Structure formats: C-alpha cells, structure tokens
Amino acid sequence: MAAQPEDQFKNVISHAKEYGFVFQSSEIYDGLSAVYDYGQNGALLKNNIKEYWWRSMVQLHENIVGIDSAIFMHPQVWKASGHVDAFNDPMIDNKDSKKRYRADVLIEDHMEKIRGKADKEVAKAAKRFGESFDEAMFRETNPRVQKYVEQVADINKRFVDALERNDLEALRNVIVDEGITCPVSGSKNWTEVRQFNLMFGTKMGSVAEDASDLYLRPETAQGIFVNFLNVQKTGRMKIPFGIAQIGKAFRNEIVARQFIFRMREFEQMEMQYFVRPGEEMKWYEFWKEQRIKWHKMLNLGDDAYRFHDHEKMAHYANAAADIEFDFPFGFKELEGIHSRTDFDLSRHQEESGKKLQYFDPEVGENYVPYVVETSIGLDRMFLALISKAYEEETLEDGSTRTVMHLPLPLAPIKAAILPLTKKDGLPDLAREIFDDLKFEFQVQYDEKDAIGKRYRRQDAVGTPLCITVDFDSLEDRTVTIRHRDSMEQERVAIDALSDRLRALVSMETLLKKL
C-alpha cells in the first residue's frame, strides 16, 4: 500500500539524511533551525540542477549572460529596492504558549478549515446520493455549504482589505473576531500584530564605532540590477536581453518549516530579462511558457505543476504568477515569474543619482527598461525532485526496494562499476573501465558485498546504471548494464560504453528537448 503523504514526507527526510543528501546544519550541537548542509550525494544533485538551469539560460540563449555578484551590497541598495521598508511579515504572539505566528498564515489556515467543513458536507452528500449526485448544484443550493462559503468570503474580504491598507489592527481584529486559537496553547490570548523585517543584519569594519550596518541579501536580483549597465555596456547587449545568476540569499523566516522548503539560508536561480516598456506582457507570457517547459522536461509528471496567478502583487510588480509544485504537503510555490516594471532600475537611479538608462537604436530613445524576472529556489527544486523521485517499490517477487527515480542527467552518480567478485582479475578490468569513464561521467567503483546488495545501494541514491564486470567480460570485453527503473539488463561492449552512457545520461540529451 502506498504511504500517506505525511509518512512519505517523513521517509523522504530520513532517506535524504541516511544516504548523504541533506544533513541538519551543526548537527552535533543539536542543529540550527531552518539551516541545512548538503552531503556528498546532495552536493552532486544540487550542482546538476544548477547546471541544467544555467545552461538552459546562459548557453542556449545568445542574449542571456550570467554573473556572480557579491552577497554583501551597499546598504542603500536595500533602501532603494524597498526591502528596508516593505520586506516584512506581520507577526503575532500568543501570550500563553509564547509562540510567534505569521498573522496572515493563521487567517489563511482558518479559512482553509472552513472550506474543509464545506467539503465534508459535499462528501457526505455524495455518499448519500450515489451516482445521481450533482456536486455543482449541491454546492450552489445547500444552505450549510452556502453558509461556509459566505463566511470564507467575508473573512477574505476583511483580510485582503487589511493587507492592502497595511492595517495591522484590522488584521488582529480578524483573528480575534473569528476566535482563532493558538495551535499550541489553544488560547485566544494574543499580542498586537507587529511587522517583522526578514533581512539579517551584520556589520562591516573592525572597530565598533566605525563599523557600518549591512544586510545579507534577501534575493540575488538586486546584484543584477546594480550591474545592469556594466553588463549591457561591456557585453554590448541589445534589448531584449537577460542577466542570470545563481547564489545564496538569506531571510530571517519566522515560521521556517517543512525541511528545506523554507530555509533561513538558501539559494536562488534568478534571471532578469530587460525589455522595452510596453512589451513586458509579451515577455511575461513568453517566460511563463519557457519555465513550465523546463520543469516538465524532467518527466516528474505534468500534473505535478500548476500556475497560480497573483491577485495581490508585491510592491514592484504589475503581473506575477507562481509555478506551484505538488509537494508531499500539497501544492506550494516552487518558482515565481514577475513583471517588475521599471521599479528597481528607477529606484536605483533615484537613490544613487546615476543614470540607469538604455539607448534603443531602433526607436531612437533613451529609457529605463522594464524587467521580467524568473526566480526559482534551488533548494525547493531539490525538494521537489527528491520527494517525487522517492519510491518504496514492491517487486514482482514480493520483495521491496527503495529507489530514487531521479531524472537521469540530474542523478548524482551516473553509473556504478561493479566487479562480480573481488578476485580473478575482475577488479582490474572494472578499475580500467572506471578510469576510462571518470573523465566524462561521475562514476563510482564498488566491490563490497553481494551484487544484489550493491544494486540496492545504487537504487537508493538514484544511480541510473550499474555496470557489472563478470567472467565473460574477461573473455569477450563486454559488460552488463542494469537499468535502475526497469531493472532490465543489456550486454554492451566495453569500447561502446562511453557512447551508450552519453546517449542515456548526458545533460545534452535533456537540453536538446527544450
């Protein structure tokens, strides 16, 4: 029987630790909350995701270039970008449990509960009426369901209104009026709602008096904006063009949970596409389509993705959508595509007093370009992959195996070279194959334990191919390739191994499909 989603998630987390993918940071000191380290297999998988993203952006588009900007930036950057004033979460504390919550999350969870009650009524009726049940009609006419629907609509109206007016008291009133209780203490003893800035502060300079206050960047995008003219001029870039970057970002998330889904230190892969004002919607649609294609190429299942168009936009955007992924805890944001207008460049222009304009030869005009951004969390992408890839499979003979069906070009180890026994010259030939393949592929040599046990070890880390060297190999220089997903075997000449591996696991095969 398939595991329940919450059990499946627990299994994924413990598997990630047991097989060297993800460790809690500073574990021997009991860990640091919402900070994680990547182990030997995790680091390889992460690098492969980065390669897939970077090459699809920078190598496949002649008008996109990549940079690597510093984490520390001038403090004025964050004033200009709006992060000092507006990068806040509304927080509320329960006085009895001393637990802190995001006020908006408490209200959203409460609405979800009421929707759940309506769904229960529908499910009950469906059972009662059987085949003849008309769900749409029932939802529209049943008084109890209608009552729940109206209740949610009322709360949502007050909630959105309070958020839009940034009215913290009104937000608190929703919590109090709705009788929302603390999930830990069960009490309604709430503090005021306060804004909590998500940026981590630090100091630069050795002497306390002369030190200046800095922030750890909460997004990589600003490193791109402040370098917009440097790149445009030195690269002689013509609009439309893009600048891509992969790098660390830091947010003092209050409610950090769900493993590597919401972390305090994480990595982003962002691309800013600079376009002519007025053409941003065309490019916004273009990048939505490109990005969903990039995801679907990984074959995790098309129904694992959906778009969520934003109704309430961030302060800088005139259109925004998330690509949501079907994580074990439900559909949640994986990537954001935002039409950021000229907000950032204009604000940096004002704050720095330096012109950040582009002369467009085609229209004979200077202007501040508009920007369409694609922004994906590398760690979230990692979580999406491992949670979909993980399977406890029951085989035909009734035995089970744990297997990670990772997309082949992203697998940490592409092939394991396994001599059938430790003697009779088999390890020598296996080592010869390993030494030949290692220049092009991440391969592993393993001679310990029975062959079946070695196959299982490789299945558990998602190695797509196991190459077994047996006694026939010494005679005819052929080996057996055993495929991870089908467990089928094929006999291949040692001389043809590189070509076979390249056809099956190379990044190029994936990139060519884009």
* Residues engaged in binding ligand GAP (CB under 6 A): 219, 221, 251, 253, 262-263, 266, 268, 270, 333-336, 373, 375-377, 379-380
Specify the residue, 333 or 436, whose C-beta has the smaller distance to ligand GAP. Answer: 333
- The H-or-E segment that residue 376 falls in is strand 370-377
Cβ nearer to ligand GAP, comparing 263 with 461: 263
Q: Closest-CB residue for ligand GAP?
A: 377
Q: Which is nearer to ligand GAP, 178 or 344 (CB)?
A: 344
SS3 75: helix
Structure tokens at 103: 């006020």
Cα–Cα distance for residue pair 277/343, rounded to 1 Å = 12
- Ramachandran sector of residue 507 (left: φ over 0; alpha: ψ -120 to 50; beta: rest): alpha
CA gyration radius for the chain?
27
Q: Which residues pair with 388 in a beta bridge?
A: none
How near is the Cβ of 268 to ligand GAP at its closest, in Å?
5
25/469 Cα distance (integer angstroms): 39
Quick one: 219 or 459, whose CB is closer to ligand GAP? 219
Residue 92, SS3 per DSSP = strand
* Residue 222 beta carbon to ligand GAP: minimum distance, rounded to whole angstroms: 8
Of 379 and 459, nearer to ligand GAP (C-beta) is: 379
Residue 198 beta carbon to ligand GAP: minimum distance, rounded to whole angstroms:
9
Return the half-sphere exposure (C-beta side, CA atoms, 13 A cut-off) of residue 395. Answer: 11
Angstrom distance (rounded) from CA 271 to CA 244? 4
Residues 393 and 400: beta-carbon distance below 8 Å = yes
Q: Any bridge partners for residue 160, and if so which? A: none
Nearer to ligand GAP by Cβ, of 255 and 460: the residue is 255
Q: Minimum distance from CB of 255 to ligand GAP (Å)?
A: 10
Nearer to ligand GAP, 279 or 333 (CB): 333
Q: How far apart are CA 269 and CA 337, in angstroms?
A: 12
Phi-psi category of 287—alpha, beta or left, where left has phi over 0 and alpha has psi -120 to 50? alpha
Residue pair 244/69 in contact (Cβ under 8 Å)? The answer is no
Q: Nearest distance from residue 375's CB to ligand GAP, in Å? A: 4
Q: Rounded CA gap, 482 and 298, in Å?
A: 21
In whole angstroms, give the CA distance from residue 400 to residue 394.
4
Q: Please say which residue, 252 or 352, places its beta carbon nearer to ligand GAP.
A: 252
